[in-house]
């Protein structure tokens, strides 16, 4: 690639993981709206970087453009307008080299991929996020929006931004945070100025769970009737834990993110490592008590909910599954097993715990408890 930031290190394996999750989500998000027909959608990359790393590996903005390119035929056919906002700013630097590299890299891309250039409007912005966010918020509120917040550290994960995003109607966001900063500095006045977290509770579990616990604390900050759902994906880098916080209100968005996360890690769907030590759980401990793996535990909980009649159909089962950070197939396996074991019965062969059955086709199936 002609435009590279030679001052930057190459992306490491964990950065690539993060970028792949970002791009997988763009790949799922773009067609969802494009296929709806004529409308305007927006993609915001507030911390866009330079476009490529030192070795020419694409960063988030080029990956966004690539994902738009994959849908180019549908975008033209369905007359969808895509507005892309790419911001890069180096605080305290007079010469905004990274911003220039970003603009050059993307313009070069659009020169080569003229179809993408015709399908989108692109705005290159060189502003401090703090100043820019309130200016772009009306656009985030107005259109279906995909927002990337790939900050260094944690500074911009404050109530101010999180609660503003919570109020938007059709925004899906992916925040990147260095959760290990929290572990170390969460109680310091500098941190508390941005985000007040109950550190005692956040630190109740071992360090590897910090990202999960941080999200648990963030959930408590949301209004009680919020539709916004937050999910973690932890990325371990040496002794540091970084992570993605995915946020969305629509069940389709949640379902798509969880699908991506579980494809990435089939054991826990929430980390690039074995966060719950599930690999060790096949062995019995001294007292012959088998510890349940994450999926097994979920199935057990779901079974309890069904037997207690707190869940009695696929609509409730699907919502519960998403709320617990699982995918429909985990629930379906459990419910089929219950039928096989003559604990419940339902019409047909499938328990219909999928997005399409519940939300698109509104096909309801009841699970009836069988008395033994």
The conformation of residue 341, written as its DSSP 8-state character, comes to T
E strand map for the chain: 40-45, 81-87, 120-125, 145-149, 171-177, 229-237, 240-248, 344-345, 368-369
Pick from 25, 29, 85, 89: which binds ligand SAM (CB under 6 A)? 89
Say if CB 325 and CB 270 are below 8 A apart: yes
The residue from 3, 17, 19, 243 that contacts ligand SAM (CB under 6 A) is 19
Q: By the 8 A CB rule, do 310 and 302 touch?
A: no
CB within 8 A of 314, min separation 6: which ones?
A: 351, 352, 353, 357, 358, 363, 364, 365, 367
Applying CB under 6 A, does 55 fall inside the site for ligand SAM?
Answer: no
Minimum CB–partner distance for residue 90 and ligand SAM (Å): 5
Task: Considering only the stretches 43-51, 229-237, 248-256, 331-339, report the one whose residues sit in contact with ligand SAM under the rule CB under 6 A.
Answer: 43-51
Nearer to ligand SAM, 60 or 268 (CB): 60
Name beta bridge partners: 233: 244
Return the closest-CA partner of residue 214 out of 256, 189, 242: 242
Q: Which position among 152, 304, 341, 345 is part of the footprint of ligand SAM (CB under 6 A)?
A: 152
Q: How many angstroms from the chain centroid is the CA of residue 340?
A: 35
Of the candidate spans 137-145, 150-158, 299-307, 343-351, the one that interacts with ligand SAM by CB under 6 A turns out to be 150-158
Q: Name which position in 1, 32, 47, 208 contacts ligand SAM (CB under 6 A).
A: 47
State in angstroms the smallest separation of the CB of 245 from ligand SAM: 14
Give me the 237-276 binding string for ligand SAM, x by CB under 6 A, dash otherwise: ----------------------------------------
- # residues near ligand SAM by CB under 6 A: 17
31 — phi, psi (to 5°)? -65, -30
Name the one range near ligand SAM by CB under 6 A: 78-86, 148-156, 210-218, 315-323. 148-156
Site string for ligand SAM, 106-145 (x = CB under 6 A): ----------------------xx----------------
Name the residue with tokens 């101010």: 160
Q: Note whether 88 binds ligand SAM by CB under 6 A.
A: yes
Helices and strands, counts by H and E, the chain: 16, 9
Instruction: Using CB under 6 A, list all residues that contact ligand SAM.
Output: 19, 47-49, 59-60, 87-91, 98, 128-129, 150-152
């Amino acid at each position: 690639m002609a435009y590279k930031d030679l001052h930057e290190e190459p992306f490491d394996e964990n950065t690539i993981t993060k970028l792949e999750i970002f791009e997988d989500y763009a790949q799922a998000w773009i067609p969802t709206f494009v296929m709806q027909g004529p409308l305007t959608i927006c993609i915001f990359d507030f911390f866009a970087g330079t476009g490529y790393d030192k070795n020419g590996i694409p960063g988030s903005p080029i990956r966004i453009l690539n994902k738009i390119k994959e849908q180019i035929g549908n975008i033209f056919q369905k007359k969808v307008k895509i507005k892309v906002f790419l911001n890069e700013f180096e605080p305290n630097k007079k010469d905004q080299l990274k911003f220039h590299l970003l603009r050059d890299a993307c313009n070069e891309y659009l020169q080569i991929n003229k179809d993408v250039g015709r399908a989108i409007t692109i705005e290159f912005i060189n502003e401090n996020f703090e100043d820019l966010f309130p200016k772009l918020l009306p656009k985030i509120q107005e259109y279906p929006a995909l927002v990337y917040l790939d900050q260094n550290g944690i500074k911009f994960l404050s109530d101010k931004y999180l609660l503003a995003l919570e109020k938007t109607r059709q925004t899906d966001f992916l925040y990147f945070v260095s959760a290990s900063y929290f572990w170390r500095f969460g109680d310091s006045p500098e941190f508390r100025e941005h985000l007040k977290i109950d550190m005692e509770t956040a630190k109740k579990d071992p360090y590897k769970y910090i990202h999960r616990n941080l999200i648990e604390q963030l959930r408590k900050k949301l209004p009680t009737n919020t539709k916004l759902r937050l999910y973690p994906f932890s990325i371990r880098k040496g002794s540091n834990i970084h992570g993605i916080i995915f946020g969305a209100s629509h069940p389709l968005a949640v379902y798509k993110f969880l699908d991506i996360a579980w494809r990435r890690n089939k054991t826990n769907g929430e980390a690039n490592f074995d966060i719950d030590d599930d690999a060790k759980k096949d062995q019995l401990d001294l007292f012959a008590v088998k510890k349940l793996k994450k999926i097994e535990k979920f199935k057990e909980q779901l079974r309890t909910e069904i037997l207690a009649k707190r869940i009695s159909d696929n609509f409730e089962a699907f919502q519960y599954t998403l709320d617990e950070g699982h995918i429909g197939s985990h629930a379906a396996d459990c419910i089929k097993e219950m039928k096989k074991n003559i604990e419940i019965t339902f019409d047909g062969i499938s328990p219909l715990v999928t997005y399409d059955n519940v939300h698109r086709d509104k096909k309801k199936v009841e699970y009836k408890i069988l008395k033994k």
